[in-house]
Structure 1
Amino acid sequence: MDEVTQPAEGERPPALGPTDEAMLARAQILREIGDAVLRDIAQLYPSDDHGSVLRDALFVKGLAEQLVERAVVVERERGASWADIGEAAGSSKQAANERWNTKMGAWVAMGRQRTGLGRGPADPADHAQDLDEWYADLVGEGPHAISTLLPSLHDQAARAEAGACRTEVQQLTQRAEELRKETEAAYNAAMEAVGTDASEEKNAVWAAKHFARAEVYERLATLEEPIAAEHRRSAAAQRRLAQDILRGRTPEEITK
């Protein structure tokens, strides 16, 4: 079997702003729910086909659960806090975070776009037009009903800014991984230098790596607002480690 080659980032159709990408994903799920409901209303179920009615109902339920997850992503992209989401869901801030934080993290990991969702055309413009046509055929009006909900679809500057943000996030994520490896190497060097004249110098290098990682996470917090709190916690942890090193704590004390 021939290997499938993924297109380079510059060859992909430009994504929309993250909020519009989330809205487009939400619209797709709503379409699938609508299609499933309309199909099931007039579905003929043979009397000996036991379980098929329930299976169809569970399928719609699964789509509805996906819709809720998409709605949470949209709300977070629109600036809603976990407290806002918890209130809307009739739960606490903590319960909302525990319930949907993993889904939010997965969305951010995909670059805050529909890549990997496996639904609809890859080009956001084509996807929006496809949904526009579906909606117009369904209700007989609103030729651009979906497209008008996506401001960045018609704003090239906004799309370029979103693309630049995604590119910087990718670079920072790669840098964070490089620094993780460099930090491990600096830790090993500090361990080997314990009790020698080189110990202070090696510890300074080790601390500098943690400070550098903190700066990466702080920048990511400004670029990935939906998970900014997680990035800030990571940055704070890196700074604490660096400060412990500079206070003279030994590698064994810091890592135990």
Structure 2
Amino acid sequence: MTNADDASPIPASPEPHRLSPRDESRVALALTLRQLADAVLDSVPVEPDPTPSDLLRTALKLQRRMDDVVREAVVAERERGTTWNQIGDAAGITRQSAHEKWYSDVHGPTSAPIGDDPLLIETHRGHADAVRANRLAIAAIHDEISALYDELTTAEPSLADEHHTQSTWHHNAATQARSYADLLNGGKS
């Protein structure tokens, strides 16, 4: 008997979970929004005497990030079937202006299907994993806040109804964040 006879077949690796273009665009939007939120928090002016023009440079950097959010939102809207007319109305411009402004973002190289390129698939999966981890962290925070409001309900009976309402709201927010995270994981826990 040779070593080749002893070798067991290598199990086939499972097919990577693929997001639909609609879901990919929502993940990209969520990631861009998260990056904007991080940039905003990093930009809070804490220096008592900033260098001249620092505040303006920071604001302009945030404006460029916000432009990225708008582009990602337009792509997500188009992927979900929103018409150019509806996008134009939401932006306060004509359908034609909206089309001219964002057509290349929707149909440009960054929105092309990822196909079978393993590197691109892994990159997109990595984005989904990052957003999923963020959603699970948000759910944990909402759970903690909900528990605190539950404690306050008994500690402050005069405000029990308000505390209960807040507790319920945070509990529902945690459930919604976990549901979204499960969607990004293909429904697998």
Question: Which consecutive unaligned segments of at least 5 residues does structure 1 have?
Answer: 1-9, 157-256
Q: Provide the residue aligned with 2:65 in structure 1.
A: 63
- Residue 152 of structure 1: CA displacement? 6.7
Q: Provide the residue aligned with 1:24 in structure 2.
A: 27
Alignment partners' CA distance in 2, 1:128 and 1:105 = 24
Q: Provide the residue aligned with 1:74 in structure 2.
A: 76
Q: Deviations over 1:107-130 (max 9, x none)?
A: 432539xx999xx87435522322
In structure 2, relative to structure 1, the CA distance for the partners of 1:66 and 1:111 (3 Å cut) is same
- Residue 56 of structure 1: CA displacement? 1.4
Q: 1:84 aligns with which of 83, 86, 93?
A: 86
Q: 2:98 aligns with which of 84, 96, 99?
A: 96
Alignment partners' CA distance in 1, 2:57 and 2:15 = 37
- Residue 77 of structure 1: CA displacement? 0.6
- Residue 58 of structure 1: CA displacement? 1.3
Q: Provide the residue aligned with 2:37 in structure 1.
A: 34
Stretches of 4+ aligned residues off by more than 6 angstroms: none
- Residue 18 of structure 1: CA displacement? 1.2
Could you tell me which amino acid in structure 2 is paired with residue 63 of structure 1?
R
- Residue 133 of structure 1: CA displacement? 3.7
Q: Is the 8 A contact 1:128 1:147 kept in 2?
A: no
Alignment partners' CA distance in 1, 2:141 and 2:59 = 22
Q: Provide the residue aligned with 1:123 in structure 2.
A: 126
TM-score (norm 2): 0.60
Secondary structure of the residue that 1:145 maps to in structure 2?
A: helix
- Residue 144 of structure 1: CA displacement? 5.9
TM-score (norm 1): 0.46
Aligned CA RMSD, in angstroms, stands at 3.5
- Residue 154 of structure 1: CA displacement? 2.6
Q: Provide the residue aligned with 2:54 in structure 1.
A: 52
Alignment partners' CA distance in 2, 1:76 and 1:29 = 17
Q: Is the 8 A contact 1:29 1:66 kept in 2?
A: yes
Alignment partners' CA distance in 2, 1:116 and 1:131 = 23
Alignment of 1:1-256 (within 5 A): 13-41=16-44, 43-45=45-47, 47=49, 49-106=51-108, 107-111=110-114, 122-123=125-126, 125-136=128-139, 142=174, 145=177, 148=180, 151=183, 153-154=185-186
Q: Is the 8 A contact 2:139 2:178 kept in 1?
A: no
- Residue 71 of structure 1: CA displacement? 0.7
Q: Deviations over 1:136-174 (max 9, x none)?
A: 466555266175277474369xxxxxxxxxxxxxxxxxx
Q: Is the 8 A contact 1:147 1:153 kept in 2?
A: no
Secondary structure of the residue that 2:64 maps to in structure 1?
A: helix
